[in-house]
Amino acid sequence: MKGLRLLRWSGSVLSLRTRPCCFIHKYQYQYPAQPLGLLRLQSSAAAPLRTVSEPEDDKEPRDSTDYTLLPSPPPSRPPSSARLSALHARLVLPTRLPLEILARCLVDPSADTNSNFNNASLSLLGSDLLGYYTSEAIICRYPRLPTEVMKAAMAAYCGPKTLAAITREWGVEVAAAPGREVDPGFLQCIRQEAGNASVNGTGTQVKELQTAADGVSTRPDAESPTRGWRRGASSKTLYGDRFGDEIQRTETDYAERPELRKEEAQRKAKRGVTLEQASTGFVGALMGAMYIHAGKKAARNFFKAHVLSRHLDVSKLFEFRQPTRDLSKLCAREGFESPVARIESETGRKSRTPVFVVGVFAGKDKLGEGSGSSLDEARFRAAVGALKGWYLYSPLEVRVPSEATGGRPWEPVLVDGGEVVV
């Protein structure tokens, strides 16, 4: 991967942004004037929600020095925030990444719609980096992993749930409501209001989330009644995000199907995010900021220390339906003899609690082994073990492409023929 030339980047990402006076004046009109008593100073207490819309016109400002109505903390605040400096030190971020940028990473687009002050651009870059580093780590380590399992492993390392957990474990707290007077060390976002939906069977209340899957899909066969059945691995690769989930709509989709725009506008009018979405944006933004300010190597090390070091048992992610059939297909494809199940040991065949240990053999080579309380179960489990043995092959020395800058040239890693297709 060719390194980006940082110095050639436009100033919008690298330099600290200051709000020009005219910008403040615009906001004077869009927010209703508040009595001073309602203003919160240095606190994270809840404030009444305000709706933000882009100003219609440029009128003359009433008072050019009033910063109180900004949607997020101004860039002059971060150096004085103990919480922010503590977060900077806790994550051992390099000094090349200034506090102001860390503060910007903590501003979600739902809190501040101005893209010069929120983390949207940084999180776009950072989430791509996260996806790239995770996928290369998984693919190079387990080159034979099936696509579905690979995507599940990706989601386990850098999916929204995991990133929300990482944010929590970093000790980042969420502001009750964003605003200029809130400590910049808080994650600033407007939380989605809780709904009345409840999980089936339990009394747990959950938020009514509008997912892409609920709305009109971007997939070409969206109207097909058997849509749920068509979500195969290749469909997920083509139409899904990096975890195989359905993606949010893009401008291209709107150009093709203008009726989607109205629905999207209704969703945006609510303008709230869940904690998961805000955390995903924050971790991605910090990753992007590391890449831009501290360089590729530091970003990689940061990723290794905080994401890749987490524990995941990949062998627990598989679910087989017909492993015996898959295994015989696999043996036929790879040119082994067709697999045969053989009883290695057994106990209590005629008792209430028998145990059979069955091995799957291709000729004289043992492929896998499983035990169960019936011959069928043991055979099934042995086939599962053999398939896992195949899919979880890991080369001895793994060097991922992103590590191959300078020095020793990169040697290609094993590329497998792919999973068994029946």
Site for another protein in 170-189 (CB under 8 A): 170-171
Q: Which of 284, 332, 365 is nearest to 121 (CA)?
A: 284
Residue nearer to another protein on the CB measure, 268 or 321: 321
Residue 138 CB, shortest distance to another protein, in Å, is 11
Residue 337 CB, shortest distance to another protein, in Å, is 10
User: Of the ranges 48-56, 102-110, 254-262, 414-422, which one interacts with another protein (CB under 8 A)?
Assistant: 414-422
User: Of the ranges 146-154, 278-286, 291-299, 399-407, which one interacts with another protein (CB under 8 A)?
Assistant: 146-154
Find residue 246's DSSP bridge partners. 240
Find residue 107's DSSP bridge partners. 188
146 lies in the site for another protein, by CB under 8 A? yes
Residue nearer to another protein on the CB measure, 156 or 175: 156
Angle between helices 275-294 and 296-303 (to 10 degrees): 140
350 lies in the site for another protein, by CB under 8 A? no
* CA angle in degrees (0–180, nearest 5) for 174-250-137: 65
Residue 236 CB, shortest distance to another protein, in Å, is 10
Unique residue bearing structure tokens 């062998």: 315
89 lies in the site for another protein, by CB under 8 A? yes
Q: How many residues does the chain have?
A: 422
User: Of the ranges 37-45, 65-73, 214-222, 339-347, which one interacts with another protein (CB under 8 A)?
Assistant: 339-347
Residue 242 CB, shortest distance to another protein, in Å, is 14
392 lies in the site for another protein, by CB under 8 A? yes
Cα pseudo-dihedral 111, 276, 115, 191, rounded to 10: -20
Question: Segment 291-330, which members bind another protein (CB under 8 A)?
Answer: 304-306, 308-312, 315-323, 325-326, 329
Residue 10 CB, shortest distance to another protein, in Å, is 31
User: Of the ranges 108-116, 167-175, 211-219, 286-294, which one interacts with another protein (CB under 8 A)?
Assistant: 167-175
165 lies in the site for another protein, by CB under 8 A? yes
In this structure, are residues 71 and 33 in contact, taking their beta carbons and an 8 Å threshold?
A: no
Hey, what amino acid is at 275?
L
Residue 186 CB, shortest distance to another protein, in Å, is 12
Q: Which of 70, 62, 53, 132 is nearest to 300 (CA)?
A: 132
Question: Segment 12-71, which members bind another protein (CB under 8 A)?
Answer: none
The distance in angstroms from the start CA to the end CA of the chain is 36
132 lies in the site for another protein, by CB under 8 A? no
- Rounded Cα gap, residues 248 and 270, in angstroms: 17
Residue nearer to another protein on the CB measure, 159 or 179: 159
Two tokens at 384? 């599962």
85 lies in the site for another protein, by CB under 8 A? yes
In this structure, are residues 133 and 402 in contact, taking their beta carbons and an 8 Å threshold?
A: yes
- Rounded Cα gap, residues 168 and 324, in angstroms: 43
